[in-house]
Amino acid sequence: TNTAARALVGYSVDRALLYASAGLGKVEFFDIDGPIDSDSGPMIGIGGRYAVTERMSVNLEYSTLMIKDFTGIPVDVNSNLFVLGVNYKF
């Protein structure tokens, strides 16, 4: 599983919001008995959101989690995430 805490900074242009994100992410590996190992590292990303109407928007985002020397073993773990979303305000 992946978990993350990020901060966003962005710039709006008309109905569009372009943003960058940075934070800390954690990855955990499990087997049938439960957690095996976990480690954390920096997470960065870029994205955009467009307001189609006042209540509906679409977004596209890419972020990556980079862990060097996973749990002290000389293995790098990178987790890439692409998000395509539709948001609706009730």
Give φ, ψ of 71 to 5 degrees. Answer: 45, 35
Whether 59 has a pLDDT exceeding 80, the answer reads yes
Q: Quick check: 2 and 25 in contact, CB under 8 A?
A: yes
Rounded-to-integer distance, Cα 34 and Cα 23, Å = 26
Rounded-to-integer distance, Cα 14 and Cα 33, Å = 51
Averaged pLDDT score across all residues of the chain? 89
pLDDT of residue 1: 64
Rounded-to-integer distance, Cα 64 and Cα 30, Å = 21
Q: Which two tokens stand for residue 41?
A: 């590292």
